[in-house]
C-alpha cells in the first residue's frame, strides 16, 4: 500500500496505484484508533489508504484529517521520498498535514521530505529534549534529496561535527552557514557542483571534506578559511586552484587525488606548513623546484603518467614518504640520494630497468616497494639499507637475488613473487627477523632442509611453483601461522606441517595428494584449510578432529560421503564440497546447525532429506548442477537462508518453483538460471527481503502479478526467456538498478527500449502504453454496449460469467435502455476482472465475443483495437 495516496477522497486527486502494505518505520509511533462514531467515505477505504481489516463492521470510519492521519500511522506504512512523487497534487496533499504532525508520529526522513516539499513551518518543539537527539540520529542516517532541515541543525551540534555523506545533495545546505561552532564538515559522496561564496562564513572550520562530488573549481573565498587544517577535494573534476589557497596558513593536509590538474599549482609552494599532499590520479607535471615546501612529510603522486622522476622532489628535506606508483618512470636520478630522511618509497608499476647505486644511500629507508617493473638485478649495495624492514620486488624479471640481502638484518617482509627464480635464495635463511616471505609463481623445484632456520617466520607463500615435496625440516618453523603451497606438484601431504601447532591457515589446493595422514589432527589451531583440486577419495575422519576449523574446502576431489564425526567440528562455518561424487545429500551434515555456507553443486544429488530443516543457521546454499527432478521443497524450511543457487547448466532442468518458496523470508539472492521454468510463483512476491533475482535462460513468458511488491529488488536478470510483456507496475521497484531483458521477444515494451538496461525508459513506455490501452478499452466497451442486440444480451452476459441474479436484475430493470444494460453488465465484468491490465481486458473481451458467436462485433472490436494503436491519443 502506498501511503498518502488519495488522502482526501473528496478531492480530485490521482487514483491509488496498489494495495500492497509495507512495514512501518521504526521511528513511527502508532496512534489511537479512531472512534467508532466517526464516518469514513467508501472511496477512502477503496483507495487502499486504510486496511479494510482495521475497521470492524460496527465501526463507522473517520472523515476528519486527524482521524485519517491516525489511520495512516496505525496501518504501519513507511513514509519516504521513495513513495511520494513531487507532483502538484501530492504537494497539495502534503500541506494538509500541517499542524497535525508531532514528534511522536514522525521520523526525521519524513520530516525532511515534507520540509523539502513545501511544508511552510516545522515546529521548534521537534528539536527539544529527547526528540531532538532521536531526530538527529535518524536524520543523519536518512537518504534524502534535499537537506532543508539543515537550518534547524545548528543547535544539535555538540562537538562541531556535521556528517552529510551520501545524501544526494546538489549543493551545500544554506543552513550550515549559520552554525558558528562548526569545525568539521563532511560532504563526501554527493552531487555538489559548486561551493558558494558563503563558504567564507566557516571561520572556525578546521576540516572540510567534499570528496567524490562534481566540483570543477573553488571560489576565491576559500582563502578566508584561516582555521582550516585539512582540505579533502579528491575525486572531483577540478582543473586548477585559485591563488588565494596560498593564504591558508594553517593547512597541513591537502588531498586532491583524481581530479583534472595538469600543472602543479604554484600557490601550493607558499603553504609553508603543509605536511601531507596527495595529487594522485591527475595529469601532472611538476616544476623544476619545490624547495620552499620544507614542511612536506608525505607526498603522493600515483597514477599521473609521469615518465620522468622530477629532480625537484629530491630537495624536499623533510620528506619521509614518497609514493609514485602507477606511472611510466623509466629511471631514477642520481639526486635521489638527497632524500636523506626518506623512510618509505613506493614505485610499483613503472618501467624501471635498473636502480642507481645512489638509491642505496638512503640509509633511513624502511619500506621500499618496486613491484611490477622490469628489474633483473638488485645491487650488492642493498646491504647499506640497515633500517630496511619491508622490501617488495614482485612482478619483475629476477633470476637470482644478491647474497648481500642477508645483511639487511632488520628485514621483516620480503616479496619475491612473480619472478623467474629457479633456486630458493640460499642466504635468506640468515634473515633472523623475517616474518613474511612471499615467493609464489616462480620456477622453484625444491626446498632444502635449511628452511628450518626460519624460526620466526609467520607467513610463507610459495604457491605456483613446481615443488614435488616439502622437507620435513619445515617443522622447525614453529611460528608459522599461514602457509600457501597451492599449485605445486605435491603428491604426498607434507608430514612436517603436522608439527606446526601455531598454524591457522593452510592452502594446499591444486596438487596431486590422494591421502591425508592421521598426524594432521595435531594441527590443533588450524582454522582455514583448503584441500580443493586434489585427488582425495574420501572425507578423511582425521579432519573431524580439527575442532577449531571454521573454513574447509574439499571441492574438486572424489568424495562421495561424509563421516558421522563431522558433528564434532563445532567451529565449522563454511563447507565447500562442490565437484565431487555425491549421489545422496549427506544426512550427516544436517546436524551442523551452526553451519552458515554449504556448497554441494556439481554433484549428482537427486533428493534433499527433510532433516535439512535442522540447519537453521545456514545462510548460503549452492545446489547447482545436480539431478533434481523437481524443486526440492525441503530447503524452504531454512528460514535463515539468504542466498540460494539452483543454476542448472548441466543435469536435469527444473520445470517450476514451489509456492513453498515464500517461506524463505530472509532470502536476498536467488539464482535459478539455466532451467526450464515457465513461470515464477506468486509466493516469490512474498519474499520482501529479495535483492537479487537471476532467472536468465529459462522459458518465462510473464512475471507474477505481485512482482512489484519486491521493493528491495536491486538486480533482475531475465535474459534469454520468452517474455512478451512487462508488468505496468514495474516502476514500483524503486531500488532496481541492474536489469537485463536481452534476448527476449518483448512487445511491451519493445526490446529496443530495454537495451539501455535502465528502469526509467521502460517505466515511461509502460505508463504511456497503459494510458493508450485504457482509452482503447473505453472505446471497446462503448462499441460493445452500442452494438449488442436484445436477443443476444442474456447469452452474452452468460459468457461474461455474470451471476444469474445479476443478469436477471439488469434484464428486468425497465428504467434502463438496452445500451445502459449492456454497460452495467460490462462494468460488473470489469470489476470482477480488475486484476487484469486494460490490454488484457480488451483481449479477453475479444475472446468472449467470439465464444458468444458475435463475429461481426468481434471483427469490429479487432479493427478498433488495431486502428487505435496507430493513433496518438
Between 190 and 860, the higher pLDDT residue: 190
Between 137 and 18, the higher pLDDT residue: 137
In degrees and rounded to multiples of 5, residue 254 shows phi and psi of -130, 115
Domains of the chain with bracketed CATH:
1-126 (no CATH), 606-757 (3.80.10.10), 768-869 (1.10.533.10)
Q: Assign 170 a pLDDT band (cuts: 50, 70, 90).
A: very high
Write down the pLDDT at residue 870: 61
Write down the pLDDT at residue 440: 98
299 pLDDT more than 50: yes
Nearest to 203 by CA among 223, 187, 226: 226
522 pLDDT more than 90: yes
Burial class (CB in 10 A: 0-12, 13-18, 19+), 282: buried
Q: Give the SS3 label for residue 670.
A: strand
Q: Assign 731 a pLDDT band (cuts: 50, 70, 90).
A: confident
Q: Which helix (H) or strand (E) holds 278?
A: strand 276-278
Q: Assign 35 a pLDDT band (cuts: 50, 70, 90).
A: very low
Q: Assign 177 a pLDDT band (cuts: 50, 70, 90).
A: confident
Between 40 and 497, the higher pLDDT residue: 497
29 pLDDT more than 60: no
> Cell numbers at residue 334, please?
642520481
Write down the pLDDT at residue 143: 40
Q: Assign 111 a pLDDT band (cuts: 50, 70, 90).
A: low
For the chain, how far is it from start to end, CA to CA, in angstroms?
Answer: 30
7 pLDDT more than 50: no
pLDDT tens-digit readout, 553-586: 999 999 999 999 999 999 999 999 999 999 999 9
β-pair partners for 161: 184
Q: Assign 238 a pLDDT band (cuts: 50, 70, 90).
A: very high
Q: Assign 147 a pLDDT band (cuts: 50, 70, 90).
A: very low
Average pLDDT, the chain: 83
**pLDDT (mean) for 330-355:** 97
Between 806 and 394, the higher pLDDT residue: 394
Q: Which helix (H) or strand (E) holds 844?
A: helix 838-851
| CA atoms of 397 and 420, how far apart (whole Å) | 6
pLDDT tens-digit readout, 543-552: 999 999 999 9
| CA atoms of 3 and 203, how far apart (whole Å) | 44
Which sign, positive or negative, has the C-alpha torsion 633, 638, 643, 649? negative
Among 488-492, 629-633, 765-769, the minimum mean pLDDT is found in 765-769
Write down the pLDDT at residue 759: 78
> Cell numbers at residue 641, please?
537462508
Among 60-74, 152-166, 424-438, the minimum mean pLDDT is found in 60-74
| CA atoms of 643 and 687, how far apart (whole Å) | 12
Among 5-19, 357-371, 843-857, the minimum mean pLDDT is found in 5-19
Between 862 and 442, the higher pLDDT residue: 442
Supply the DSSP string of 582-614, one letter for each residue: -SS--GGGGG-TT--EEE--SS------GGGGG
| CA atoms of 855 and 638, how far apart (whole Å) | 54
Amino acid at each position: 500500500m502506498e501511503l498518502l495516496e488519495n488522502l482526501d477522497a473528496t478531492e480530485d486527486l490521482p487514483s491509488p496505484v496498489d494495495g500492497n502494505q509495507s512495514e512501518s518505520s521504526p521511528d513511527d509511533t502508532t496512534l489511537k484508533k479512531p472512534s467508532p462514531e466517526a464516518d469514513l467515505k467508501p472511496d477512502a477505504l477503496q483507495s487502499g489508504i486504510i486496511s479494510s481489516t482495521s475497521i470492524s463492521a460496527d465501526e463507522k470510519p473517520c472523515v476528519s484529517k486527524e482521524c485519517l492521519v491516525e489511520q495512516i500511522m496505525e496501518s504501519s506504512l513507511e513514509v519516504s521520498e521513495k513513495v511520494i512523487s513531487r507532483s502538484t497534487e501530492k504537494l497539495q496533499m502534503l500541506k494538509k498535514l500541517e499542524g497535525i504532525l508531532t514528534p511522536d508520529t514522525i521520523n526525521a526522513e519524513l520530516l525532511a521530505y515534507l520540509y523539502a516539499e513545501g511544508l511552510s513551518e516545522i515546529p521548534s518543539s521537534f528539536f527539544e529534549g529527547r526528540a531532538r537527539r532521536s531526530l538527529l540520529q535518524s536524520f543523519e542516517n536518512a537518504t534524502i534529496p534535499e537537506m532543508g532541515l539543515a537550518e534547524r541543525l545548528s543547535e544539535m551540534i555538540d562537538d562541531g561535527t556535521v556528517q552529510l555523506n551520501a545524501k544526494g545533495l546538489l549543493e551545500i545546505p544554506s543552513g550550515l552557514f549559520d552554525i558558528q561552532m562548526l569545525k568539521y564538515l563532511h560532504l563526501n559522496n554527493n552531487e555538489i557542483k559548486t561551493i558558494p561564496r558563503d563558504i567564507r562564513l566557516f571561520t572556525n572550520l578546521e576540516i572540510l571534506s567534499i570528496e567524490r562530488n562534481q566540483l570543477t573549481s573553488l571560489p576565491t573565498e576559500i582563502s578566508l578559511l584561516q582555521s582550516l587544517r585539512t582540505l579533502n577535494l579528491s575525486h572531483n573534476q577540478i582543473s586548477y586552484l585559485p591563488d588565494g589557497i596560498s593564504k591558508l596558513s594553517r593547512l597541513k593536509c591537502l588531498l586532491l587525488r583524481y581530479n583534472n590538474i595538469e600543472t602543479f599549482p604554484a600557490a601550493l609552494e607558499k603553504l609553508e606548513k603543509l605536511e601531507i599532499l596527495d595529487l594522485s590520479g591527475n595529469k601532472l607535471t611538476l616544476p623544476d623546484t619545490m624547495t620552499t615546501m620544507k614542511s612536506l612529510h608525505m607526498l603522493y603522486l600515483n597514477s599521473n603518467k609521469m615518465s620522468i622522476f622530477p629532480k625537484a622532489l629530491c630537495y624536499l628535506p623533510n620528506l619521509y614518504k614518497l609514493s609514485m606508483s602507477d606511472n611510466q618512470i623509466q629511471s631514477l636520478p642520481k639526486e635521489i640520494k638527497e632524500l636523506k630522511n626518506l623512510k618509505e618509497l613506493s614505485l610499483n608499476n613503472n618501467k624501471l630497468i635498473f636502480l642507481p647505486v645512489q638509491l642505496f644511500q638512503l640509509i633511513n629507508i624502511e619500506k621500499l616497494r618496486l613491484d611490477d617493473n622490469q628489474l633483473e638485478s638488485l645491487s650488492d649495495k642493498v646491504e647499506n639499507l640497515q633500517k630496511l624492514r619491508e622490501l617488495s620486488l614482485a612482478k619483475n624479471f629476477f633470476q637470482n637475488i644478491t647474497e648481500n640481502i642477508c645483511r639487511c638484518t632488520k628485514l621483516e617482509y620480503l616479496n619475491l613473487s612473480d619472478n623467474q627464480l629457479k633456486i630458493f635464495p640460499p642466504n635468506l635463511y640468515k634473515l633472523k627477523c623475517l616474518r613474511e616471505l612471499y615467493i609464489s609463481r616462480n620456477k622453484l623445484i625444491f626446498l632444502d632442509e635449511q628452511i628450518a632456520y626460519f624460526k620466526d617466520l609467520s607467513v610463507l607463500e610459495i604457491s605456483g611453483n613446481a615443488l614435488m615435496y616439502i622437507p620435513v625440516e619445515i617443522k622447525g618453523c614453529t611460528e608459522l601461522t599461514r602457509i600457501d603451497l597451492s599449485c605445486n606438484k605435491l603428491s604426498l601431504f607434507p608430514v612436517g606441517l603436522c608439527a606446526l601447532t601455531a598454524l591457522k591457515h593452510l592452502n594446499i589446493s591444486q596438487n596431486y595428494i590422494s591421502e591425508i595422514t592421521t598426524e594432521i589432527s595435531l594441527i590443533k589451531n588450524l582454522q582455514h584449510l583448503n584441500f580443493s583440486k586434489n585427488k582425495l577419495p574420501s572425507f578423511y575422519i582425521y579432519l573431524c578432529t580439527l575442532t577449531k576449523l571454521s573454513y574447509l574446502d574439499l571441492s574438486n576431489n572424489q568424495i562421495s560421503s561424509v563421516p558421522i564425526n563431522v558433528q564434532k567440528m563445532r567451529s565449522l562455518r563454511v563447507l565447500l564440497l562442490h565437484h565431487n561424487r555425491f549421489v545422496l545429500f549427506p544426512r550427516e551434515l544436517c546436524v551442523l546447525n551452526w553451519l552458515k555456507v554449504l556448497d554441494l553443486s556439481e554433484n549428482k544429488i537427486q533428493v534433499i532429506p527433510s532433516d535439512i530443516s535442522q540447519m537453521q543457521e545456514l545462510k548460503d546454499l549452492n545446489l547447482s548442477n545436480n539431478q533434481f527432478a523437481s524443486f526440492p521443497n525441503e530447503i524452504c524450511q531454512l528460514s535463515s537462508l539468504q542466498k540460494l543457487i539452483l543454476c542448472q547448466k548441466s543435469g536435469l532442468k527444473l520445470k517450476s518453483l514451489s509456492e513453498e518458496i515464500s517461506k524463505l523470508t530472509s532470502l536476498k539472492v536467488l539464482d535459478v538460471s539455466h532451467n526450464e521454468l515457465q513461470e515464477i510463483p506468486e509466493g516469490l512476491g512474498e519474499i520482501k527481503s529479495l535483492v537479487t533475482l537471476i532467472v536468465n535462460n529459462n522459458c518465462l513468458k510473464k512475471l507474477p502479478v505481485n512482482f512489484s511488491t519486491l521493493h528491495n529488488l536491486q538486480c533482475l536478470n531475465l535474459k534469454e526467456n520468452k517474455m512478451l510483456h512487462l508488468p505496468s507496475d514495474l516502476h514500483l521497484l524503486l531500488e532496481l538498478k541492474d536489469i537485463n531483458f536481452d534476448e527476449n521477444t518483448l512487445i511491451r515494451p519493445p526490446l529496443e527500449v530495454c537495451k539501455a538496461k535502465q528502469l526509467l525508459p521502460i517505466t515511461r513506455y509502460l505508463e504511456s502504453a497503459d494510458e493508450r490501452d485504457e482509452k482503447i478499452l473505453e472505446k471497446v466497451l462503448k462499441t460493445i454496449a452500442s452494438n449488442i442486440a436484445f436477443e443476444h444480451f442474456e447469452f452474452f452476459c452468460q459468457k461474461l460469467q455474470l451471476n444469474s441474479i445479476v443478469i436477471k436484475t439488469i434484464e428486468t430493470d425497465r428504467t434502463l435502455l438496452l445500451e445502459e444494460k449492456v454497460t452495467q453488465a460490462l462494468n460488473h465484468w470489469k470489476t470482477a476482472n480488475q486484476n487484469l491490465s486494460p490490454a488484457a481486458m480488451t483481449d479477453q473481451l475479444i475472446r468472449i465475443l467470439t465464444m458468444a458467436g458475435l463475429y461481426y462485433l468481434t471483427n469490429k472490436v479487432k479493427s478498433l483495437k488495431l486502428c487505435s494503436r496507430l493513433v496518438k491519443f
